[in-house]
Structure 1
Amino acid sequence: MRKERIVKRLQRLARQQGRDTEMNIVSLIDIFAILVFYLLVNALVVEILPNPKALKLPESVIQEEPRENTLVQVTLDDVLVNNRRVMSVAEAAAAEGNILPGLKAELMTAPLMQTPGAAAGMVTRGEVNIMADKAIPYQILKKVMATCTETRFAKISLAVIEKHGAGGTP
């Protein structure tokens, strides 16, 4: 009787080993679908402008989200274009006229492009974002904006921190 049980068990094991194992992958597909959805949603939430600790941006109401463009940073010490130092703020303050020569030379390296919806000969350098410390005097900021206009940037945006509470906007 004991041998009979062992034989039956061995026969049952032999039958089970010969069968293909079935796997239910519906729950696995659900997990991957949720993971892909999560990654797609979070991939769209990207902070374009860097947040340097050396700058204290002014607060204001934000009308448009920033786009990735040429970035001019004006810290308390330096003027930077795309994180490369161009000149000091003292040199910018001492510059004669409204055009900053060091900044203009760096901005001229940006490529010209056709203006959408304009005449065939209208070309610009696109858009520029300016991040300036709130303690920077307006005269220096005015020179930076005038230099950007002189180098044919079509749109100049100033980076600010979104104001919460006052004005009814979040």
Structure 2
Amino acid sequence: MVTKSSLPLLLLKDDILPFVSCVFLRRLLLPGVHHNATLYATLVEYSRHLSESELQTLTADGIKKEILSIIEHEVGSEKISLLHCWKSFFNRYFHNWCKSNALYGLLVDSSSGAVGLIRRSSISLFRSLEDIERIMEVVVRKPLETVRRESEKREKEIESFE
């Protein structure tokens, strides 16, 4: 039964659920996180009948729709929470990512100080910062620290009023 006091909670829930899915989808589609082979393996686990070539032709919106349909189906059929479904999806995705991106070796270039990870389907290189990059790091970090301190100060002020 919906009462006047529960109505704002229902409206809030309807507003939050799409937002939660949007956050998870954006994170999943970030460069370095999104891998077609991993996503394909995860979709297969959910009994999606989509070929690898069909997946590669999908736009970002098409991929989002496929994933959202899985999540909505899980929420609807199992009567479990949206967060639980996303957690399950990400656990499967991460497991498949670990399988398809197994570490094969380590590459060290002593002349440049670069270190690389050789994986089954990719190579990642890490290097030290150039002097100009160190300067930029300081320039960006200082204002962020100031903003963080101001935010913490305001939170304490708000808590003192309550």
TM tier relative to shorter chain: under 0.3
Higher percent of residues as helix: 2
Higher percent of residues as strand: 1
> Larger relative CO (CA 8 A, sep 6+): 1 or 2?
1
TM-score (ref. length: structure 1): 0.24
TM-score (ref. length: structure 2): 0.25
Give 1 or 2 for the bigger CA radius of gyration: 1
